[in-house]
Structure 1
Amino acid sequence: MKITVIGGGSWATAITKILCEGNVQIKWWMRSVEDAEHIKKHHHNRNYLSSVEIHPSKVKPYTNLKEALRGTDWVVLAVPAAFVSDALKSISKSNLEEKKIISAVKGMIPESNQLITDWLADNYQVSHQNMGIIAGPCHAEEVALEKQSYLTIASANMDLANDFANLMRCRYVSTSPLVDIYGVEYAAVMKNIVALSCGITHGLGGGDNFQAVMVSNAMQEIKRVVDVIAPMERDLSASAYLGDLLVTAYSQFSRNRTFGNMIGRGYSVQAAQLEMNMIAEGYYAVKCIYEMMQRFEVPMPITNFAYQILYKNASLKKEFEVLKKKLI
């Protein structure tokens, strides 16, 4: 099976590692010529998950995206949502024709407040029947350590979901297909907002008791959002929803929680971003979801809490007191 992986970060590296457990040939596109040359020579990503060995017989790095897409069956998109448009600017819709696209992006396009799948449909005319998404709970750092992990592949096309689930399944990764692509994609966006908010409250001195209440309230907030935007029967206690929320809200590896914790301790947004040197999708997702949901009368205390702090420079302590009164 021939697969193109787009992105040079930790999640792209983890996905490449998982796929290499099977019988595949991977064209791995990344922006940096220096990083691509380093992988060719030393067989590891020097910037992310550097302990992961990249098999030279299965993986070939590329910096020309059109060449990386030529002759492949699947495309895995694994770049931060804010940079998707820039990453794909060199290609046209013809480069993605008849390919199956899997989004590993857990964010929204900031300029248009769109899910990645909707943006691809609008800008590259990719059919929703040819798209799917990867959902957790799964941190790249634990994939690198080969700790048992679980992934859900969601798609409106169950044959596609099953096929890619089979490609991702290996001795340390269990996979399952799911038809609820919109619910899973929005839940993945929302859980980053929740984790970021949990980080802020922790930085402000909130304890485990408060975080437990936040996470339980967050499930209610996520349900209100997905029920309004993509109504259907779904079990939000499944790992693709609740499991992904829990690992992102609680894990030491959660960049969104880390980012929020820095904000809660007094860092500016810019200072936190510079120190992390990684993208916290939740920062952009807060604005996207807040603006999108303004036309619905849906109570969203956690999203509003994060929005007021990150985009309105509101008082941390004041917004914390407001949030406390709105949770149950």
Structure 2
Amino acid sequence: MKNDIKFAVLGGGSWATAIVKMLTENADTVNWYMRNTDAINHIKTQRHNPNYLSSVEFHTEQLELTDDLNVAVANADVLIFAIPSAFLDKELQQLRVDIKEKTIFSAIKGIVPESGLIVGQHFHENYGVPYDNIGVITGPCHAEEVALERLSYLTIACSDMEKAELVAQHLSSNYIKTKISDDIVGTEYAAMLKNIYAIAAGIAHGLGYGDNFQSVLMSNAIREMKRFIKRVHKMKRNINNSAYLGDLLVTGYSVFSRNRMFGNMIGKGYTVKSAMMEMKMVAEGYYATNSAHLIVSKHKKKSKTPILNAVYEVLYENKNPKTVFQKLTDKLD
């Protein structure tokens, strides 16, 4: 891949905004697509996103802002998708540009509901993008801490290590350290699963469980994650690396975690609908829970997933969180 690659970030939320901030540290110009034309006009005049990470000030001469997905895609070599998985398919329906020769990196932490596939597989099977042109951007990294320029770490995964390295270089700065990996499937599933476990941590907190239980919950969660990923994509990996365990811990414990916040509200008695309305943000783990449960159900030899099952029962079967988690405590060790 050439060194003067052009980037496009697709999405207008907090993670998309953080990625644009990271890229502008190194790239002269970043194409940025978002649906919200009012937000685009605000960024052009006020230099910050009015809805997400509003403390980040952009040099607007570095941005090519557009509300036309096809314009952003056509003008870039590398496309970084940061659109919530629940809305990705709808956004892609307007795509008219052939993306087979583009390099696609997913910063989405979920499964596409319409296909039941992680994002990389969705682009491969539905848009003919070769796996060598598909990558994943994972944490442990919260957008809010990027905005504050607190030291953060990213894992950039791609089967083509040259592409992974170049994308890593463009995201690196004095406050962003990057690591590359060839485990594109494993890191993408881990990014999805950790949101589910963060919801579990939030529910437990909302129910009044303390740090002692949380430590046991997270210990069991990383082992459950290992079993799940091994079942869907067996390869040599160290589940204790930052892309897996580190991302799980920060999402499960951080005050910036919207999935933990969502779970905490459920534990305190909110309905799913009321919690979502009050948050005004997408909790990817809600959608991921249903998708992950379907994957487990389809496997003839099912993985042991008591935490995932508990979250599914609370969110999708409307079972009482207190009762479900009382039963869960007996299944953990």
| TM-score tier (shorter) | over 0.9
Match of 1:323 among 293, 305, 328: 328
Query: 1:49-79 CA deviation, whole Å, 9 max, x = no partner?
Result: 0010111121121001111122311111001
User: In the alignment, which residue of structure 2 is the partner of 1:66?
Assistant: 70
Aligned 8 A contact 1:40 1:60 in 2: no
Alignment of 1:1-328 (within 5 A): 1-92=5-96, 94-294=97-297, 295=299, 296-328=301-333
How much identity, in percent, do the aligned residues show?
47
Aligned 8 A contact 2:195 2:259 in 1: yes
Taking the aligned partners of 1:89 and 1:112, their CA distance within structure 2 comes to 14
Query: 1:26-56 CA deviation, whole Å, 9 max, x = no partner?
Result: 1100001111111111111000000101111
Taking the aligned partners of 2:102 and 2:294, their CA distance within structure 1 comes to 32
Gaps of 5+ in 2: none
Taking the aligned partners of 1:206 and 1:44, their CA distance within structure 2 comes to 39
Taking the aligned partners of 2:98 and 2:15, their CA distance within structure 1 comes to 23
Secondary structure of 1:57 counterpart: helix
How many residues are matched?
Answer: 327
Taking the aligned partners of 1:217 and 1:70, their CA distance within structure 2 comes to 45
- Which one is further off, 65-74 or 188-197? 65-74
Taking the aligned partners of 1:324 and 1:201, their CA distance within structure 2 comes to 10
Query: 1:277-304 CA deviation, whole Å, 9 max, x = no partner?
Result: 0000100111111111112321100000
Taking the aligned partners of 2:27 and 2:320, their CA distance within structure 1 comes to 54
Structure 1 letter corresponding to 2:233: A
Structure 2 letter corresponding to 1:89: Q
Structure 2 letter corresponding to 1:250: Y
Structure 1 letter corresponding to 2:6: K
Query: 1:93-144 CA deviation, whole Å, 9 max, x = no partner?
Result: x431321111000011122221001111122111111010101000000000
Secondary structure of 1:326 counterpart: coil
Deviation at 1:88, TM superposition (A): 1.5
Task: Quickly say closer, same or farther: Cα 1:112–1:97, change in 2 above 3 A.
Answer: closer
Aligned 8 A contact 1:66 1:95 in 2: no
Secondary structure of 1:202 counterpart: helix
Taking the aligned partners of 2:206 and 2:36, their CA distance within structure 1 comes to 35
Taking the aligned partners of 1:175 and 1:192, their CA distance within structure 2 comes to 21
Structure 2 letter corresponding to 1:246: L
Structure 2 letter corresponding to 1:87: E
Structure 2 letter corresponding to 1:320: F
Gaps of 5+ in 1: none
Aligned 8 A contact 1:221 1:299 in 2: yes
Aligned 8 A contact 1:3 1:24 in 2: no
Taking the aligned partners of 2:236 and 2:314, their CA distance within structure 1 comes to 34
Query: 1:208-262 CA deviation, whole Å, 9 max, x = no partner?
Result: 0000000000011001001111101101111111100000000000000000000
Structure 2 letter corresponding to 1:139: H
Secondary structure of 2:129 counterpart: coil
TM-score by length of 1: 0.98
Which structure 1 residue ranges, 4+ long, deviate > 6 Å from structure 2?
none
Aligned 8 A contact 1:27 1:68 in 2: yes
Considering only aligned residues, what root-mean-square deviation do their CA atoms show, in Å? Answer: 0.9
